[in-house]
Chains A and B, each alone.
Chain A
Amino acid sequence: DAKTTQPNSMESNEEEPVHLPCNHSTISGTDYIHWYRQLPSQGPEYVIHGLTSNVNNRMASLAIAEDRKSSTLILHRATLRDAAVYYCILRDHLDGNKLVFGAGTILRVKS
Chain B
Amino acid sequence: DTGVSQDPRHKITKRGQNVTFRCDPISEHNRLYWYRQTLGQGPEFLTYFQNEAQLEKSRLLSDRFSAERPKGSFSTLEIQRTEQGDSAMYLCASSLIGRGAQETQYFGPGTRLLVL
Contacts and interface: CB of A to CB of B under 8 A. Distances in A.
Contacts, number: 65
B101 A99 contact: no
Of the four ranges (under 10, 10 to 19, 20 to 34, 35 or more), the interface on chain B belongs to 20 to 34
A96 B101 contact: yes
B45 A99 contact: yes
Contacts of B4: 43
Contacts of A42: 107, 109-110
Interface in A85-99: 85, 87, 91-99
- Listed from nearest, the 9 A-B pairs whose CB atoms lie closest are A101-B42, A43-B107, A96-B101, A98-B45, A46-B104, A101-B43, A44-B107, A43-B91, A32-B102
22 contacts: A43-B93, A44-B43, A44-B91, A44-B93, A44-B107, A45-B2, A45-B107, A46-B104, A46-B106, A91-B101, A92-B101, A94-B101, A95-B101, A97-B31, A97-B33, A97-B56, A98-B33, A98-B48, A101-B42, A101-B44, A103-B41, A103-B42
